[in-house]
């Protein structure tokens, strides 16, 4: 006779089994973030700045100017005036040099590439004309680990992943069980409602132990990512994030009667945050007026705190605001979800 096990343990083990037996769920949770980090890591890898593209307007002096601009930093061609103007307009070149006295630079001042090209080209032409720099300078070129795009991206993907697996693994799954009358069936047994809900929370907490090392481990292997702060704090923070989003997942599932409804609600929660919470690019790109609102979004709080710990080595005091924010989101959404949950 096999010994009967505790209901919470069995429910949690069941959640695990069902997850692992759903290949698409496994892919979206583990495979997708890794593919995304490879794609984005490669697309935005740090590389030497490209040569600036420049056109020289055809004139008797054009040949001499072309020679003076011979440098790895510049790619120059000689064009007649109409072609040069068209290429500037379409962005094929960022600067047109009109030889003569004075030499005229034609470029769009609002584009950083234009200003960069002007400064590079002007420097070369002035030196060719005999300018001597009054003070010697030396360059020390560094690409600091921790300041690259991939260092920014991986913590963001971890946060994003913790959000989406809580939403799918709790919100969607619970509504699916409701439509299949499985919740009702279980309620016809002495199963405790608290065990049922706790099994989802336990599953999320245990998953952190897989999700977080997987992504940081991948970042370390593929991109030499380093975690500056305490790994323990990183785990604790990720668990808090997972639990907080577990509350939100429970909240979106609490009333919905079919999977379309919960799908819509999940998008409502996840879409804005995947753009505004600094997953792929910094929230600093948004206007100052929006910052107070962005800062208190749960995913912003989680991402900010993960980055602070992972790249700056922040301590718990350094992320106190984010920890409080996440705790509040979790506590409030759990409380509301429990009061509104549709059991039957």
Partner 1 sequence: MTTTPPLAVSCRALVKRYDRDVVAVDGLDLEVHAGECFGLLGPNGAGKTTTVEILEGLLDPTAGEVEILGMRWSTDERALRERLGVSLQQTHLPERLSVGEVLTLFRSFFARGKDPDEVMRVVALEEKKSAWSEKLSGGQKQRLAVACALVGDPELLFLDEPTTGLDPQSRLQLWDVVESFKRGGRTVVLTTHYMDEAERLCDRVGVIDHGKLIALGSPRSLIASLGGQEVIEVTLEEGTLDEAVVSRLHGVHGVRRVADGFALAVEPLHVALPALVDHLRGASLRLKRLATRHATLEDVFVELTGRGLRD
Residue numbers at the binding site for partner 1 (CB under 8 A) = 1-2, 4-7, 9-11, 14, 17-18, 21-22, 180-182, 184-191, 344
Q: Please, what is the minimum distance in Å from the beta carbon of residue 22 to partner 1? A: 7
153: which residues sit within 8 A by CB, 6+ positions away?
37, 40, 41, 44, 280
Q: Which is nearer to partner 1, 145 or 206 (CB)?
A: 206
- DSSP lists the bridge partners of residue 79 as 57
Q: Of the two residues 17 and 111, which places its CB atom closer to partner 1 in the complex?
A: 17
Pick between residue 71 and residue 179 the one whose CB is nearest to partner 1: 179
Q: For the purposes of burial, counting CB atoms within 10 Å of the CB of 66, is it exposed (0-12), middle (13-18) or buried (19 or more)?
A: middle
Closest CB to partner 1 among 131 and 192? 192
Q: Bridge-partner residues for 74, per DSSP?
A: 52, 71
In whole angstroms, what is the distance from residue 17 CA to residue 15 CA? 6
Query: Closest separation between CB of residue 251 and partner 1, Å?
Result: 23
The secondary structure of the chain in percent helix, strand, coil, rounded to multiples of 5, reads 65, 5, 30
Min separation Cβ 10 and partner 1, Å: 4
For the chain, the straight-line distance linking the first and the last C-alpha, in angstroms and rounded, comes to 34
**Minimum distance from CB of 197 to partner 1 (Å)?**
14
To partner 1, the closest distance from the beta carbon of 323 in angstroms equals 35
Taking the least distance from each CB to partner 1, the nearer of 127 and 192 is: 192
- Least Å from the CB of residue 177 to partner 1: 8
**CA nearest to 100, candidates 128, 70, 131, 59:** 59
Q: Is 277 exposed, middle or buried (0-12, 13-18, 19+ CB in 10 A)?
A: buried
Q: Which is nearer to partner 1, 22 or 312 (CB)?
A: 22
């Amino acid at each position: 006779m096999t010994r009967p096990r505790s209901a919470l343990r069995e429910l949690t083990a069941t959640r695990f089994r069902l997850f692992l037996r759903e290949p698409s769920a496994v892919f979206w949770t583990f495979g997708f973030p890794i593919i995304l980090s490879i794609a984005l890591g490669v697309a935005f890898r740090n590389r030497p700045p490209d040569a600036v593209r420049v056109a020289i307007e055809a004139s008797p002096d054009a040949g001499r100017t072309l020679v003076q601009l011979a440098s790895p930093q510049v790619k120059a061609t000689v064009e007649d005036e109409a072609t040069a103007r068209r290429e500037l307009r379409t962005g094929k070149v960022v600067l047109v040099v009109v030889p003569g006295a004075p030499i005229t630079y034609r470029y769009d001042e609002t584009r950083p590439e234009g200003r960069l090209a002007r400064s590079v080209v002007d420097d070369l032409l002035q030196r060719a004309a005999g300018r001597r720099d009054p003070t010697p300078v030396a360059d020390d070129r560094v690409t600091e680990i921790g300041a690259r795009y991939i260092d920014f991206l991986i913590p963001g993907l971890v946060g994003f992943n913790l959000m989406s697996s809580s939403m799918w693994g709790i919100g969607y799954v619970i509504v699916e069980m409701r439509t299949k009358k499985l919740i009702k069936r279980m309620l016809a047994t002495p199963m405790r409602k608290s065990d049922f809900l706790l099994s989802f929370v336990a599953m999320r907490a245990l998953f952190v132990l897989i999700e977080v090392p997987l992504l940081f481990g991948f970042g370390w292997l593929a991109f030499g990512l380093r975690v500056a702060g305490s790994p323990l704090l990183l785990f604790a923070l990720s668990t808090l994030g997972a639990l907080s989003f577990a509350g939100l997942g429970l909240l979106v599932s609490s009333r919905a009667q079919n999977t379309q409804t919960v799908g819509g609600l999940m998008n409502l929660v996840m879409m804005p945050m995947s753009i505004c919470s600094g997953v792929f690019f910094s929230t600093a790109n948004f206007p100052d007026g929006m910052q107070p609102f962005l800062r208190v979004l749960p995913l912003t709080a989680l991402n900010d705190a993960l980055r602070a710990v992972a790249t700056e080595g922040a301590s718990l005091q350094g992320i106190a605001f984010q920890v409080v924010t996440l705790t509040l989101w979790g506590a409030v959404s759990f409380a509301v979800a429990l009061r509104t949950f549709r059991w039957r």
